[in-house]
Structure 1
Amino acid sequence: MCQKLRPRLGSAIASTILSLFSAVSLVGIDKAQAAVLTYNLDIYNGGGSGFLKVDNSSVNPILFQLIPVSEGRLYTPLILDSFGLGGKEYYNLAGAIAIFYEGVLRGLQAGGSDTRTRELIVPPDEPGGPDYINIRGYASWSIDTYVQHYRGISFIGGSWLLGYKEVYITPMNSMPYVDRQTIDSAGVVFTLVNTEPEPVPEPLTVGGTALALAGLSWLKQKKKMAA
């Protein structure tokens, strides 16, 4: 190739690279759409209700997958909100494990507990006084999903809630009292209710940046050689 044509050819190549970068950058403005999937939880036998959110960017329509819950709440009678114990409003489901198979939410693995204590002193001038009452509450629950793997095939048998709540009331001047509630094998149903889009940059933007940097580096090298 003629020596005089090489600088012109190099400039043309660099110009093409920079033009391509500009075009790719504009394409990068169009975002690929990831989404946050929101599911409602309905629990049979008065077990409660709630919701959970999962990022679908890692959901595969073929594989069996365990994906962390990004946000969620469980509202259940297994909360220590009686006898002035000041229990939680709900249990936090963030960090629980959502079980997907073939891109569909099939189950959940989660659990929680709570402990509360309250002391009540009844003065002598009040009815029933003087008295000292100790109130202690314990609650524990789990949502389990039966999963079995056999020769590369996953069998999922559904999810259920197990749990109990016990509140012990121990007065000084009368017989102790126990308030107990148990939930046994209450089925859990999941319903997809919302898909919230979250923009994610297209991979082309990264490729365009690499092309532009390569072009600028090539131009600098040619200028040094010409000097």
Structure 2
Amino acid sequence: MASGSSSGVNETLRLRGAGKPPRIRQPTKAQMEERWKSTNPRDLAYEIATFMGGEWPTRPVRKVQLSLEGAPRECEDLMELTQLNPTLLSEMTVPTRELFLEVYYDDLLDVYSQVMETLAPEDPHGVRGTRVTFDSVRKFKHLTISLGFKAVSDVCQAAFDHPDTDFDEWPEVTPDHRPGCWCTLDVAKFTQLTAATVALVKMILDEKGVLPPAAEARIINVAKRFYYDDV
């Protein structure tokens, strides 16, 4: 009885195709030949983002505006102040760099505003205008260090390292999102270096993505070698 029942189940599974990998449908010739309609990088980005009902993202309203007044005007001074490592930017083609920096420019202004919007009236010691949320500073630091702007990123790190920053005793497992955590930020220095960073990005944008000559000496060139070159 058990044997007959087992064989019946096996037969049912065999008929249903159990145990076989799912069939992968190959694209048709028409689908293979289909191309994006846009050739301009900006239009192509919009076409891809809105493909099949997608929506083009909208930016938040900036409640705190950043003034570039007082930022250096010379490229060499900006490079020195921001401590930009232009290696990653140098790896991009000029059109890609221009398009990337257009978005990055607005990102800097948006996230700067988000940091400043969290500015608390005073810290536990009664000092005004120094406390901001961990989440907003973390977001800004990731944005700036990702492209090699070391100076303003270091200011963010100093806020994390401040003795009044309320981390738990196991920082190696600190979560990305800490809604109740506040950092003591040097707001004046943060604003100064952010303005210099934005000014330098704008300077490159004004040149249609072409890196300035001052960047050349700061690019880190790594020789590509295979493991057996040392043998």
The TM tier, using the shorter chain, reads under 0.3
TM-score, with structure 1 as normaliser = 0.21
TM-score, with structure 2 as normaliser = 0.21
**Structure with the largest fraction of helix:** 2
Q: Which one has the largest radius of gyration?
A: 1
